Structure 1
Amino acid sequence: MSSYLISGGRPLNGQLHVHGSKNAALPIIAASLLYQGVTVIRGCPDILDVRYMIKILRSIGCGVVYQDDMLQIDASEICLENISRECIGKMRSSILLLGAALGRCRHMTLDYPGGCTIGARPVDIHLKALEQMGVHIEEVDGAIHCETEGLSGARIVLPYPSVGATENLMMAGAMAEGITWIQNAAKEPEVSDLAGFLSAMGVSIYGAGTDRIGILGKCSLHHTEYRVMSDRIVAGTYLLAVAGTGGEIELLNVAEQHMHCLLHLCEAMGCEVRMTEKGVRLKSARRLFAVEDIHTQPFPGFPTDMQSQLMAVLATARGESVIYEHIFENRFRTAGELQKMGADIQIKNNRAVIRGVRKLKGCHVSARDLRGGAALVIAGLMAEGDTIVENSIFVERGYQDICKDLTQLGAEIRHSRDAREG
């Protein structure tokens, strides 16, 4: 079992470049299937979820070259019958293949996607919306079988601004007959990045970044080279790591408009935050202040993907903090591991009350999901003594090399297949 071994208590200082976004790269990779030719994606992070997606593309016949941060995909010929069911079961984002595959091939059978166990995350929003575009859907032997005689543009009102459903509909709309309107669409920056890619490919798309997106179907597509946006969740994780341990950091390749809510919270905790010509700089206070009434919300609100990391930092803040989780019901699972380290956290339904303690103490903890694993790494850096974080494979799904990055800032952290033997 792979683990992180961390010796805590060291302030972090330095400068880091933030790699490309996981949540932007995966739908863009899926969208490359729309074009029967070669697509080049730059700034693509070398993380497990990208590797799984590459295996899926190769299994259906795509030619894929991955070198440094450049991903070249030749989707001239594909055969969906050979799709890797093993990789589908390992990652939630495999559902993003549905819109592109239906647009191009008019059929797809997909096992229910896997990934982190942070909540139900049903795919019914995706499926019901695609039905409105002319897709017939049935469950066959535990898998989702989708088929259409041809996608038709539709006016679709999402019951919730789901990022994945919005992205699937954008890809399906690109190949549909007529215009597709998505109302109550997700406004996350990653949705806008997918729109930028589709536009560069030749799709006429309007309104990305608002709650109403329009897509004109059947546009002529062409070869595209596109650079993925930087990862705002990775950037936020490193900012909170520095906030929790003390010190100062400058993050390069960061957009303030993507992180406004988190930066505001860092200031409320007592950190100094300012934008630079290259990105954002944060200087931590000696001891942070608690923050009341933090609510996870769709963008531009506070992201659920940052909730676990913030909880770890608030565990030693002065006073009482309250976090409300409104998106995923199992996001508080990390609280139990933080309690092992001495955190005073009480959970009731979707509410977490965190009473700051003076110090966390290093111990043996286990990651149960991607962002929760990152939170435990932060807690280990803050803690007195040594911490072992098991199941590092979860963290590797979204962070290119968290050990290398944190070591560059002065942390003492290493990766081990079995850190207990180290």
Structure 2
Amino acid sequence: MKNVNRLFGKTSLALAIGFAAIGSVSAATISVGDGAGLVGGGGTTPAQIAVTYVGDGVTVGYQATLSYDTANLDVVSQNVDGGICGVNDGAGTITIIDGTPDSSVLGDKVTCNLTFTLDAGVADGDVFTLDLNNALYSDADANPSPGPHTENDGEITVSDAPPDIILAFNPDPNVVFPGGTSGTNTVADIDVTVGSGTVGTGTIDNCVLGGANPGAFQILNGTAVVPPADTIDLQVTLANSALSATLTCDLDDASAATQKVFNLSAPAGTPVPAPEFTSTPAPGSALTCNGAPGSVQNTSVTITNAGDLALTFNCSVSGDPAFSLASGGVGNLAGGASQAVNVECTVPAEDAPAAVGSLDCTTNDPAFSAVDYPLSSVAATAPPPIAQPNVVPASSMWSQLSLIGLLAALGLLVVGIRRK
């Protein structure tokens, strides 16, 4: 009962009008079933609704008319099991006839099926009566059958059809951005259409980026309400390496899912020729030129272009006048080339404060448009003199007497050893 298809101008309702076996009773009964018509999406009601004939053990045939509202309903009839229900006067009356060819008792049965179509003007809550009239019954002798007979009317109740739209996406789930030059933007769209269903709308919104490189991607439009068809619009800034991210959105349609996830990817961009500043020591490193007080010392930085476009630079010295640029302060380097920038300094006097300054370079590499190397110079302190022992001159009287005493002692030692 929930499957509804959109048609232009009408909503169809299938009513099975017939006669189902219930068992023999004392009075024949014709009953038109009730139907539930759905509006808002069109289509045919999938379930057939039965109208029953219950025999009385005597009746061999009957005839009745069924009236309906032609201003709001159309009908298509189908005969079943010998019954006839195709006689329609076009003014809202169908004639139903059924009976046995051999005048045997007419049992419980289905006589015909009727499919009603609701016009576009009907609305939720409308009720249309299927009015059963003019019932005639006959027995085997074509005489009125004994006992009472019952005719039960039916009705069609109109209600709003439940939403059944399920969204479709293209591409899904992998969204691949076109390539281009590194640093430029490329865009990709996700087409959002009706995958199935006819009633209501489907919505995708509240999209957020995640994954490896969400910062490289941008959501230009993250909401789509369908129908009509719409798009989710995305953008990425290409880099020298491939990029990826995820796009997770809230989903509101007739499917069971509440979220939709897309995988975003962008190829590596074509590199833009550019200079790339590097140096030894590293950019910003401190440079020293210490030495003896008043001496002239040297320190240097080697600048290299690691890029593929000419690197230009201009270096100067600031700070204490003890520092000066000796050579190499201006350069224009092809890719892979290097140049030394030499700084000369005069070492301050001993115990004087250290001289400080800076080697300041500007370049055409945007990442290193200004690079400063701190400079310092301090005098090397000479070590204190080593103390010398007092030495007695060998030519003095005291040295001679000391030597004679030493030799005498050695002689006595030798004599003592021999006597032993």
> TM-score scaled to structure 2, two decimals?
0.21
| Higher strand residue share | 2
Higher RCO (CA 8 Å, separation ≥ 6 residues)? 1
Give the number of the structure whose alpha-carbon radius of gyration is greater.
2
The alignment's TM-score, normalised by the length of structure 1, stands at 0.21
Structure with the larger helix share:
1
